[in-house]
């Protein structure tokens, strides 16, 4: 019987294929006590499993980088290899074997649950999703302990591909499967889960968050995965398959057309050049930027350096990372945002809990309470500024004194470097993010103190509408076109322009083609987004007639009836 299920679309495209169910090793774990005389053998079994999984991961990494030298998969696999040496997981499990005489599988799964619980408390969605890596590493270890290494699905001969159906998938599994895989669907995961990122990187359609799909499906069922709309159609009839085959061909044609825009300047019909920048999380993203020829980096989320590690990166380590990003940018501008860590939970060893972390010690607030950490980052950034065109951006500004304290620390860092005779860019611009309504409404104090602004629509929407951006239960209320949000964005752009201060948008709105003309009509001339979106946005710009769009947008900004705004924006972008 045919049926349709809806989930989160995380990697665009259409796949048609037969299901392959990936088993969930953790369900197979038993609990038994180890007799004292067998403890040593149990510990050896545990160590052998770790060595074997490490070898497995290393093999996958080599295969991945041979297939695609600059992809992100290598970094993800390294992360999982690091977990194999993580005391919070491995040593603690070993202690459980030694002290409680648990069998190795049980000790591991018990410890995994306690580590995962700690991850669950983290406010930052990206960091929270790293719990999936812990689970995936433990799954591999359990498989190794049970002598049951993962098996690849066989290649199909009937022309249809294979669709992997799993509760969750690791990036290593994803890359291991990739040769004859048409698509992925999983029960859990969000848009920033590793599987989603890897699937996007590999260009394989994927849907996550389908809840109980793994239990609903049987092996070898025919299924269509529409990764653009987040729909999976199980057991489709012939006419539906034909329709999707046509759609898939049209999408492929579309992609190859987009690739041809790589070297076309992003100019509107009237010849106005628009800046198209990329959001990155580290040096590994720079290859993609070259591939699509972006104008530079509009948002480098430096807090990603903190992820999944138990020591803070010191100044030298940070300097190397920043320098390598600047080198790869080959003279194009790079805007590095200082650490935007949610509360303090992403820092190992710091266990303070906050009742409401989104409104707590986050971003610049956190940095200012840890001046040593902040100063090390500022020194590293300044040192790197000698190797390219760097700008520093401060996240989540609300108060003027947050800027002043940051500027004082930057001055202190400069003073130290001068004394140490270390080169840096004396005129390095310092800007701020407008992502809290208070900042947008009282922009004068920011404009007077900063060199540029960037609007973070992700948080601006969350804080304006009081809707948690990571909470599925209120996702329907998260409306970028809410009149209050539009007023704050357009007001910020206008004020910045009057003050002749460069302004860009670096939230998800900038990478959504449905909003490109609206933002152009508000006067925006600089967009920063996920690199994969840049060519699509460029196409929208090439078709844009500012003389027509601008007055229409001004009329939209006067509306305050949501349905009419949605309708007018849809018409504007057609
Ligand atoms: C934003 O809030 O729009 C933004 C770009 O920052 P982040 O998504 O990292 O919070
Ligand atoms: Mg933000």
Give tens-digit pLDDT for 255-277: 889 999 999 999 999 999 999 99
Q: With a 6 A CB cut-off, is 458 part of the ligand 1 pocket?
A: yes
Residue 175, domain member (yes or no)? no
Report the atom number in ligand 1 closest to the C-alpha of 454: 5
pLDDT at 513 over 70: yes
Q: Which ligand is nearest to the CA of 304?
A: 1
φ/ψ of residue 504, rounded to 5 = -135, 170
Q: With a 6 A CB cut-off, is 301 part of the ligand 1 pocket?
A: yes
* Contact criterion met (CB below 8 Å) for 427 and 414: no
Q: Which ligand is nearest to the CA of 335?
A: 1
Instruction: Specify the 3-state DSSP secondary structure of 232.
Output: strand
Residue 207, domain member (yes or no)? no
**Token pair recorded at residue 483:** 């009149």
Nearest 10 degrees: Cα torsion 60, 21, 162, 188? -80
- The span from the CA of 499 to the CA of 504, in Å, is 14
Q: Which of 100, 131, 146 is the last residue of a domain?
A: 146
The answer to whether residue 506 is catalytic is: yes
The answer to whether residue 194 is catalytic is: yes
Residues 276-293: tens digit of each pLDDT: 999 988 898 898 899 999
**Residue of 411 and 162 predicted with greater confidence:** 411
Least confident of 143-152, 260-269, 460-469, 563-572: 143-152
pLDDT at 43 over 90: yes
**Residue of 183 and 22 predicted with greater confidence:** 183
Q: With a 6 A CB cut-off, is 289 part of the ligand 1 pocket?
A: no
* Contact criterion met (CB below 8 Å) for 422 and 383: yes
* Secondary structure in 3-state letters for 504-547: EECCHHHHCHHHHHHHHHCCCCEEEECHHHHHHHHHHHHCCCHH
Q: With a 6 A CB cut-off, is 342 part of the ligand 1 pocket?
A: no
Helix axes 131-145, 39-67, angle to 10 degrees: 120
Q: Give 300-306's long-range contacts (Cβ < 8 A, gap of 24+).
A: 300/325, 300/334, 300/335, 300/336, 300/337, 301/337, 301/340, 302/336, 302/337, 302/338, 302/339, 302/377, 303/124, 303/337, 303/339, 303/340, 303/341, 303/346, 304/126, 306/339, 306/341, 306/346, 306/347
Strand-strand pairing, 8-11 and 206-208 = antiparallel
Residue 339, domain member (yes or no)? yes
Least confident of 136-150, 212-226, 237-251, 337-351: 337-351
- The span from the CA of 484 to the CA of 480, in Å, is 9
281 and 419 in a single domain? The answer is: yes
Residue 197 is predicted with a pLDDT of: 62
Q: With a 6 A CB cut-off, is 176 part of the ligand 1 pocket?
A: no
142 and 274 in a single domain? The answer is: no
User: Nearest Cα to 303, choosing from 123, 494, 72?
Assistant: 123
Average per-residue pLDDT for the chain: 87
For position 291, which CATH number holds? Answer: 3.20.20.60
For position 84, which CATH number holds? Answer: 1.10.274.10
Least confident of 214-223, 440-449, 454-463, 528-537: 214-223
Residue for token pair 């070993």: 94
Residues 288-325: tens digit of each pLDDT: 899 999 999 999 989 877 755 666 789 999 999 999 99
Residue 115, domain member (yes or no)? yes
Catalytic residue, from 20, 167, 194, 387: name it: 194
pTM here is 0.69
pLDDT at 348 over 50: no
Report the atom number in ligand 1 closest to the C-alpha of 303: 9
Predicted confidence band at 151 (pLDDT cuts at 50, 70, 90)?
Answer: very low
Q: Which of 126, 146, 166 is the last residue of a domain?
A: 146
Predicted confidence band at 150 (pLDDT cuts at 50, 70, 90)?
Answer: very low
pLDDT at 149 over 50: no
**Token pair recorded at residue 501:** 């201060």
Residues 169-196: tens digit of each pLDDT: 765 566 556 567 899 998 877 665 556 6
Q: What is the mean pLDDT of residues 208-213?
A: 85
Residue 203 is predicted with a pLDDT of: 74
Kindly give the distance from the C-alpha atom of residue 395 to the centroid of ligand 1, in angstroms, as a whole number. 9
Residue 248, domain member (yes or no)? no
Instruction: Choose one of 125, 128, 301 to mutate for the ligand 1 pocket test, by most ligand atoms within 8 angstroms of C-beta.
Output: 301
Report the atom number in ligand 1 closest to the C-alpha of 506: 5
Residue 24 is predicted with a pLDDT of: 57
φ/ψ of residue 346, rounded to 5 = -80, -5
Q: Whose CA is nearest to atom 3 of ligand 1?
A: 456
Residue 547, domain member (yes or no)? yes
Q: What is the C-alpha radius of gyration for the chain, rounded to an integer number of angstroms?
A: 25
* Contact criterion met (CB below 8 Å) for 357 and 342: yes
Q: Note down the domain range covering 131.
A: 23-146
Helix axes 194-202, 131-145, angle to 10 degrees: 90
Least confident of 14-28, 247-261, 337-351, 499-513: 337-351
Residue 171 is predicted with a pLDDT of: 53
Residue 1, domain member (yes or no)? no
Residue 345 is predicted with a pLDDT of: 37
Q: What's the domain count of the chain?
A: 2
Q: What is the mean pLDDT of residues 474-502?
A: 94
Q: Which of 146, 166, 198 is the last residue of a domain?
A: 146
Residue 430, domain member (yes or no)? yes
**Token pair recorded at residue 422:** 């270390």
Percentage of the chain surpassing pLDDT 90? Answer: 56
Percentage of the chain surpassing pLDDT 70? Answer: 88
Give the DSSP letter string of 67-83: H-TT-SHHHHHHHHHHH
279 and 138 in a single domain? The answer is: no
Residues 454-463: tens digit of each pLDDT: 999 989 999 9
Kindly give the distance from the C-alpha atom of residue 458 to the centroid of ligand 1, in angstroms, as a whole number. 5
* Contact criterion met (CB below 8 Å) for 457 and 484: no
Predicted confidence band at 344 (pLDDT cuts at 50, 70, 90)?
Answer: very low
């Amino acid at each position: 019987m045919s049926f349709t299920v809806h989930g989160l679309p995380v990697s665009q495209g259409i796949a048609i294929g037969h299901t392959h169910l990936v088993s969930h090793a953790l369900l197979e774990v038993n609990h038994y006590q180890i007799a004292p005389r067998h403890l040593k053998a149990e510990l050896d079994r545990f160590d052998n499993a770790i060595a074997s999984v490490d070898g497995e991961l290393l093999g996958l990494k080599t295969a991945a980088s041979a297939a695609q030298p600059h992809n992100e998969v290598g970094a993800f696999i390294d992360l999982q290899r690091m977990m194999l040496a993580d005391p919070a997981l491995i040593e603690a499990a070993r202690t459980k074997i030694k002290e409680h005489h648990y069998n190795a599988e049980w000790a591991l799964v018990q410890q995994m649950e306690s580590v995962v619980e700690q991850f669950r408390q983290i406010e930052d969605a990206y960091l929270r999703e790293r719990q999936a890596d812990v689970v995936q590493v433990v799954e591999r270890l359990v498989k190794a302990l049970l002598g049951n290494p993962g098996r690849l699905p066989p290649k199909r001969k009937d022309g249809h591909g294979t669709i992997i159906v799993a509760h969750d998938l690791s990036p290593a599994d994803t890359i291991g499967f990739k040769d004859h895989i048409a698509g992925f669907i999983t029960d859990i995961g969000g848009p920033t889960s590793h599987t989603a990122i890897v699937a996007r990187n590999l260009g394989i359609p994927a849907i996550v968050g389908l809840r109980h799909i793994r239990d609903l499906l049987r092996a070898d069922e025919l299924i269509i995965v529409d990764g653009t709309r987040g729909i999976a159609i199980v057991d489709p009839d012939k006419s539906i398959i034909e329709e999707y085959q046509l759609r898939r061909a049209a999408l492929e044609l579309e992609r190859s057309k987009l690739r041809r825009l790589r070297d076309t300047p992003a100019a509107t019909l009237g010849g106005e050049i628009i800046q198209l920048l990329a959001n990155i999380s580290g040096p590994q993203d720079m290859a993609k930027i070259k591939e699509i020829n972006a104008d530079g980096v509009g948002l480098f989320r430096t807090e990603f350096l903190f992820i999944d590690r138990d020591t803070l990166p010191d100044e030298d380590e940070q300097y190397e990372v920043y320098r390598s990003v600047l080198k790869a940018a080959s003279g194009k501008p790079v805007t590095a945002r200082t650490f935007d860590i949610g509360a303090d939970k992403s820092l190992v060893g710091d266990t303070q809990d906050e009742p409401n972390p989104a409104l707590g010690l986050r971003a610049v607030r956190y940095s200012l309470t840890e001046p040593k950490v902040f100063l090390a980052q500022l020194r590293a950034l300044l040192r790197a500024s000698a190797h390219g065109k760097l700008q520093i951006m401060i996240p989540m500004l609300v108060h003027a004194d947050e800027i002043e304290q940051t500027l004082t620390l930057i001055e202190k860092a400069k003073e130290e470097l001068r004394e140490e005779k270390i080169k840096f860019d004396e005129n390095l611009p310092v800007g701020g993010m407008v992502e809290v309504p208070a900042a947008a409404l009282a922009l004068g104090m920011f404009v007077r103190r900063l060199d540029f602004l960037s609007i973070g629509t992700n948080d601006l929407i969350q804080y304006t509408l009081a809707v948690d951006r990571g909470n599925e239960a209120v996702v329907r209320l998260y409306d970028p076109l809410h009149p209050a949000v539009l007023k704050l964005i357009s007001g910020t752009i206008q004020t910045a322009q009057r003050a002749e201060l460069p302004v860009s948008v670096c939230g998800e709105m900038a990478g959504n083609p449905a909003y490109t003309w609206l933002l152009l009509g508000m006067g925006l001339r600089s967009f920063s987004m996920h690199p994969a979106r840049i060519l699509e946005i460029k196409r929208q710009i090439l078709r844009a007639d500012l003389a027509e769009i601008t007055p229409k947008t001004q009329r939209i900004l006067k509306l305050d009836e949501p349905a009419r705004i949605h309708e007018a924006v849809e018409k504007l972008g057609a």
